[in-house]
Amino acid sequence: MELFPKEETEDRKENEFMQSTGLVVVQDQRVVGLHCSGSELHAGQVAVIRYGPKLAASELYFSRKPCATCLKMLINVGVSRISFWPGDPEISLLVEGHNGTDSNSQEAILDAIASEKLKSNSHPHMGVAVQPLALGLQQFVVETSKECDFMERVSGDSPELDIEDLFFRQRRQNLNTFSGEFLIQNEECHRDVLAKIGLENFCMEPYFCNLRQNMRELVGVLASVAASVPLLTHGFYMKDAQPTASGSPQTRGVSQEIARHCTIQARLLSYRTEDPKVGVGAVIWAEGKSGGCDGTGRLYLVGCGYNAYPVGSHYGQYPQMDTKQQDRQRRKYRYIIHAEQNALTFRSAEILEDENTMLFVTKCPCDECVPLVQGAGIKQIYTTDMASGKDKGDISYLRFDGLRGLQKFIWQKSCLTTCPSEYAGPHLANGCVGKHRREPELELSCSKRPRSAMPKDHSLFVDQW
Ligand SMILES: Nc1ccn([C@@H]2O[C@H](COP(=O)(O)OP(=O)(O)OP(=O)(O)O)[C@@H](O)[C@H]2O)c(=O)n1
């Protein structure tokens, strides 16, 4: 979420010390909100404004240690857990200070001291360390990312491309970018930051080395998933312009960068699947009427999900086989809840008739899901149609092509009719437009995986304090 594409406004306050921060809000083990800092408000402040007292007992996962201004309000409202990656905090301890001060600016140090005091006098658990990835997951993500539907489509459309080379070049580029954002390259600087934010105990070996290695692995996963939706020759373009069910005019699509970012979120999510073979992820975002204080602008999360057996079921309780199993009773299809079904079922916001609600899903909706998506009032779908037209008996994808009443933005080579970014104003790069605009980079998405490759309880962080 820290890298959510945003438009830089003219009046954006230039504060060299403030770093954009991403936030995931979890309640009852479910993701209810995805946020990032905006031009005026920090991610923690956005959460307080958005949820108010409902934040009590929530678990918050920050991409950096939040500043004292956010922490005091979050402690005050009674969140149950605050977790963060212990790199350079929200008020940077590394950025060269403005007004002639040095990098150890008084402001940042005072903030670090205040955060420490707030932490030691507070009730919420505060977690810092990133857990190691499951054995083999890194390689699994590389393999499944380079063969996912999005890459397959690129390869099919451009047979002259060396798809493996493309993937690894994009991955390397992502590794550089993400490492620069999240890891502090210089180990001594990192130790210095940890000492200043009250985590001296992590400066000792083997904790320090493990901490950095775990983050490096996580960055590797992000880099692979991001490389699997390469915005070089392909993008999300409308398949066939259809009048909406209500007869209302076509809604505008989001920019290619946002579409890709949300697709990457869905691909990441798909690695949590319980399907023995195919992971599918879905995220639903809506475009609110008024400009939000969030770094996501008017967009807000409605829900997210991945394909899994019914909540509360145990491993092996239901059939796991696919169509190759002759005995149909032993096939998985009648038991697995699809990604879209979970995203709709456990949504944290209502789907409003007069708002543009968008589904980003890593596989095109099957015949079971098409009427659900339509009935729920989704206005736009961003997906790949690689499975469209297939009928495998227990699961089929015959109805997607005929799905009317909403706009379908399909991952494809060229803009056949309407390109989302044509509508979306200035071109948005990963980060912002204008002078700080970065080169378009690749981001993420996913597929087949072993069960339980990812931790199930959102705990990328473990308790430390
Ligand atoms: N939009 C979609 C499409 C599929 N699925 C999930 O994907 C799995 C089935 O995927 P599919 O590839 O169609 O079938 P398999 O037989 O598993 O694999 P294969 O591609 O080899 O046929 C099911 O768990 C189903 O829940 C989903 O959640 N959402």
Q: 70 alpha carbon to ligand 1 midpoint, in Å?
A: 42
Alpha-carbon torsion, ordered 86, 90, 95, 97, to 10 deg: -140
Closest ligand 1 atom, residue 273 Cα: 24
Closest ligand 1 atom to 323 CA: 16
User: For position 251, what pLDDT does the model report?
Assistant: 58
Predicted confidence at residue 89, as pLDDT, reads 94
pLDDT for the residue 104: 53
Q: What is the pLDDT of residues 65-80, one digit of tens each?
A: 999 999 999 999 999 9
Whether the Cβ atoms of residue 31 and residue 58 lie closer than 8 Å to each other: no
Closest atom of ligand 1 to CA, residue 341 = 28
Q: Which residue has the higher pLDDT, 463 or 284?
A: 284
Whether 138 shows a pLDDT value over 70: the answer reads yes
Residue 201 in contact with ligand 1 by CB distance below 6 A: no
Which of 270, 274, 280 most suits a substitution to test ligand 1, by most atoms within 8 Å of the C-beta?
280
340 is an active site residue: yes
Q: Which residue has the higher pLDDT, 415 or 85?
A: 85
3 band by pLDDT with thresholds 50, 70 and 90: very high
Q: Would the CB of 395 count as within 6 Å of ligand 1?
A: yes
Judge if the beta carbon of residue 363 lies within 6 A of ligand 1.
yes
* CA–centroid distance, residue 23 to ligand 1 (Å): 30
Structure tokens at 406: 């909403």
Ligand 1 mean position to 278 CA, how many Å? 6
Q: How far is CA 264 from CA 117, 148, 250, 385, 424, in A?
A: 37, 12, 25, 16, 19
Q: Span 45-56, mean pLDDT?
A: 96
Residue nearest to atom 27 of ligand 1 (CA): 338
444 band by pLDDT with thresholds 50, 70 and 90: very low
Q: State if residue 334 touches ligand 1 by the CB under 6 angstroms criterion.
A: no
Nearest-atom number in ligand 1 for the CA of 392 is 22
pLDDT tens-digit series, residues 368-425: 999 999 999 999 999 999 999 999 989 999 999 999 999 999 999 975 444 454 433 3
CA 446 to chain centre: 12
Confidence check: pLDDT of 325 > 50 = yes
- Tell me the per-residue pLDDT of 251-261, one tens digit each, with 9 for 90 and over: 578 999 999 99
The residue annotated as part of the active site, out of 90, 340, 355, 443, is 340
Report the separation in Å between the CA atom of 145 and the middle of ligand 1, taken as the mean of its atom positions: 16
Q: What is the pLDDT of residue 242?
A: 52
In this predicted structure, the answer to whether residue 146 has a pLDDT above a threshold of 90 is yes
Question: What is the model's pLDDT at position 280?
Answer: 98
Nearest CA to ligand 1 atom 12: 278
Looking at residues 145-165, what average pLDDT do you find? 95
- What is residue 122's predicted lDDT score, i.e. its pLDDT? 82
CB 304 within 8 A of CB 282: yes
Give yes or no for residue 298 CB within 6 A of ligand 1.
Answer: no
Q: How far is the CA of 352 from the centre of ligand 1 (A)?
A: 29
Residue 84 has φ and ψ, to the nearest 5°, of: -155, 160
Q: What is the pTM of this model?
A: 0.87
Residue with tokens 């990328």: 460
ipTM over 0.85: yes
pLDDT at 411: 97
Ligand 1 atom index nearest CA of 387: 13
**d(CA 175, ligand 1 centre) in Å:** 30
64: Cβ contacts below 8 Å, ≥ 6 apart: 2, 19, 21, 84, 85, 87, 88, 89, 90
